[in-house]
């Protein structure tokens, strides 16, 4: 004999698991600590200054 299931409950359970899966993926993708964000900002500033220092022609307002 087969087991009787409630389709409404099954659909809700499936939706919950998929929602949790998306949430965990987003935490990995977007979740960064404050320290990591600040470190990235400092690195980008340093890289930009390095590139600006190696320009052939300086931007001067005359």
Residue 13 burial class via C-beta count within 10 angstroms: exposed 0-12, middle 13-18, buried 19 and up: exposed
User: How many structural domains are present in the chain?
Assistant: 1
Reported as a single tens digit per residue, the pLDDT across 11-50 is 999 999 999 999 999 998 888 888 988 999 999 999 999 9
The answer to whether residue 62 is domain-embedded is: no
| Helical segments of 1-62, H only | 7-30, 34-53
Does the residue 59 lie in any domain? no
> Does residue 43 lie in a domain region?
yes
pTM here is: 0.48
58 domain residue, yes or no: no
Expressed as residue numbers, the domain containing 40 is 7-53
């Amino acid at each position: 004999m087969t087991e009787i299931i409630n389709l409404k409950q099954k659909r809700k359970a499936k939706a919950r698991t998929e929602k949790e899966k998306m949430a965990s993926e987003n935490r990995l993708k977007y979740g960064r600590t404050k320290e990591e964000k600040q470190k990235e900002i400092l690195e980008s500033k340093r890289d930009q200054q390095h590139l600006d220092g190696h320009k052939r022609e300086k931007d001067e307002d005359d």
